[in-house]
Amino acid sequence: MKKLGEIALGIVTGIGGFLEAGSIATASQAGSEFGFQLAWVMLLGTASLACLMEMTGRLAAVSHRSYADLMRERFGVRFFLLPLVALLLVSFLSLAAEVGGVAITLEMATGISLRWWAIPVALLGWALLWRGTFGLMEKGTAIFGLVALVFAVGAFKLHPHWPDVAKALLPSTPSHDRARYWYIAVSVLGASISPYLYVFYSAGAIEGGWTVDDLGVNRMTVSLGNIFGGALAICVVVVAAMVLAPGHVKVDSFEPISRMLVTPLGEAGFVLFAATLFVTCFGTTLEIALAMAYLLAEGFGWAWSQNLRPSKDARFSMTYTVAILAAAVPIVLGMNPFALTNIAMVLTAASLPVTVLPLIVLMNDRRILYRDTNGWMSNAALVIISVMAIALFVAAIPLQVTGGG
């Protein structure tokens, strides 16, 4: 019964947790410029993320050590610097983008500029982290995240030609604007395969005291959660393709996206969109700030747990405090959250090799995983993801230059 509850929580987390500023922005760009055609990239990203989360969850359940912990211990402090710096950088940019996402919904609701909202949003997020426990946060974001289901409702009400959507799940190359197409593909992958997620997920497995008995739960939550989350993200592509693409609306801010759901759902669509963006960005803000604290604390061996009072893990709690407050700064200074999101997603994609490649060694080490090392299927998946990660590393920056603007 407890396990069923955990799986249910995992699925609910997947529904709301998958969508956030990055995925909503990139999915809308994909839909508005290329119709359904980029849906396959969303599928690829979701499947990759599911594999990586399953592996880091398995690592934590079997060895009782988190991803960051093992990266430091197995590869030494010198190598650890690489994923550490890359993760802190892209996580910080994403964090700022999420704070911006929350602030923009408040601007939509009140008319007061988002620059005024950044600090209050950061302070509210910080207060929740300071006072709340891991379980409370996890359940809170999961349940409120269900509002994201409006995208599914919206997509169905628009009556897309579903066989066309299904056809788009197979890879295809564009007939026009190649550079732009691949640029958006890279951003979509960066938005779906977020490294902070597996740092957070494996630390969560430690917080939850997972053991080998939880491997089944791990597999179920990760696959079902990502199926639902990925499907929802494809619904965003569908809505953008049906609503924005015919009018050739160029998506370069959250403004056009915010009216997207008005077509299928009426004025309520605007409110529901704002609520979705608010809740998912806010939940992700908390997750990224915590992931950064987990990463540093585990890597350097500080006391850490979201279930401890801050006085018991001062460095850990100061890390998320500084991160979340600092993330408000670019927004206060007037950086456009949408542009920030795009840069964060492309850099995330470029950073993937340093977080993915080490898994090849970790997941095949019998001294860590005993009987639960990767089978040939997991290894094949990991090799494919690694090759993709290297390709993203090579291509991301040139594509930002040629297809970004």
Partner 1 sequence: MLHLVHEVLDAQLLDRHDQKIGRIDDLVLELGDDGRPRVSAVLIGGSPRARRMGSWIAALARLFGLRETGVSRVPFAAVRRIGDDVALDVEQGDLSSERLERWLREHVVCRVPGSAGERK
Partner 2 sequence: MTNPQVLLGELVGRRVRDDEGRVIGRVLELSAEIALREHDRDYVVTTYHVASFGHLDRIAGSRFMQQLIEMLGPRMGCHRYLVPWDIMDITDPRRPRLRRPLDPRWHQGPR
**Chain contacts with partner 2 (rule: CB under 8 A):** 74-76, 78-79, 357-358, 360-361, 364-365
Contact of residue 315 among partner 1, partner 2, none (CB under 5-8 Å per partner type): partner 1
Name the token pair of 171. 């890879």
Q: How far apart are CA 318 and CA 293, in angstroms?
A: 8
Q: How far apart are CA 385 and CA 51, in angstroms?
A: 9
Could you say which residues in the range 102-141 bind partner 1, by CB under 8 A? 130-131, 133, 136
Query: Is the separation of the CB atoms in 193 and 45 below 8 Å?
Result: yes
Question: Which of 113, 315, 380, 402 touches partner 1 by CB under 8 A?
Answer: 315
Contact of residue 393 among partner 1, partner 2, none (CB under 5-8 Å per partner type): none
Quick one: 233 or 354, whose CB is closer to partner 2? 354
Q: How far apart are CA 206 and CA 63, in angstroms?
A: 10
Quick one: 220 or 354, whose CB is closer to partner 2? 354
Number of residues interacting with partner 1: please give it, by CB under 8 A: 29
- What number of other Cβ atoms are within 10 A of residue 252's Cβ? 14
Contact of residue 303 among partner 1, partner 2, none (CB under 5-8 Å per partner type): partner 1
Total count of residues recorded for the chain: 405
Quick one: 303 or 383, whose CB is closer to partner 1? 303
Residue 4 is a binding residue for partner 1 (CB under 8 A): no
CB of 66 to partner 1, least distance (A): 11
b/e 54-64 (16+ beta carbons within 10 angstroms → b): bbbbbbbbbbe
Q: How far apart are CA 245 and CA 226, in angstroms?
A: 26
Name the token pair of 188. 């979509």
> Backbone phi, then psi, for 37, in 5-degree steps?
-55, -30
Give the binding range for partner 1 (CB under 8 A) out of 73-81, 108-116, 200-208, 224-232.
73-81
CB of 326 to partner 1, least distance (A): 15
Is 1 in a helix, a strand, or coil?
A: coil
Q: How far apart are CA 200 and CA 139, in angstroms?
A: 15
Residue 77 is a binding residue for partner 1 (CB under 8 A): yes
Q: How far apart are CA 291 and CA 196, in angstroms?
A: 6
Quick one: 301 or 375, whose CB is closer to partner 1? 301
Cβ-Cβ contacts under 8 Å for 295 (sequence gap 6 or more): 68, 84, 87, 88, 91, 199
In the block, which residue shows the tokens 């993801």?
385
Q: How far apart are CA 366 and CA 354, in angstroms?
A: 22
Contact of residue 357 among partner 1, partner 2, none (CB under 5-8 Å per partner type): partner 2
Quick one: 314 or 394, whose CB is closer to partner 1? 314
Residue 311 is a binding residue for partner 1 (CB under 8 A): yes
Q: How far apart are CA 146 and CA 149, in angstroms?
A: 6
CB of 80 to partner 1, least distance (A): 8
Q: How far apart are CA 326 and CA 289, in angstroms?
A: 11
Give the binding range for partner 1 (CB under 8 A) out of 70-78, 101-109, 116-124, 384-392.
70-78
Contact of residue 304 among partner 1, partner 2, none (CB under 5-8 Å per partner type): partner 1
Question: Which of 116, 156, 270, 302 touches partner 1 by CB under 8 A?
Answer: 302
CB of 74 to partner 1, least distance (A): 8
- Which parts of this chain interact with partner 1 (CB under 8 A)? 63-65, 69, 72-73, 76-78, 81, 130-131, 133, 136, 300-304, 307-311, 314-315, 317-318, 367
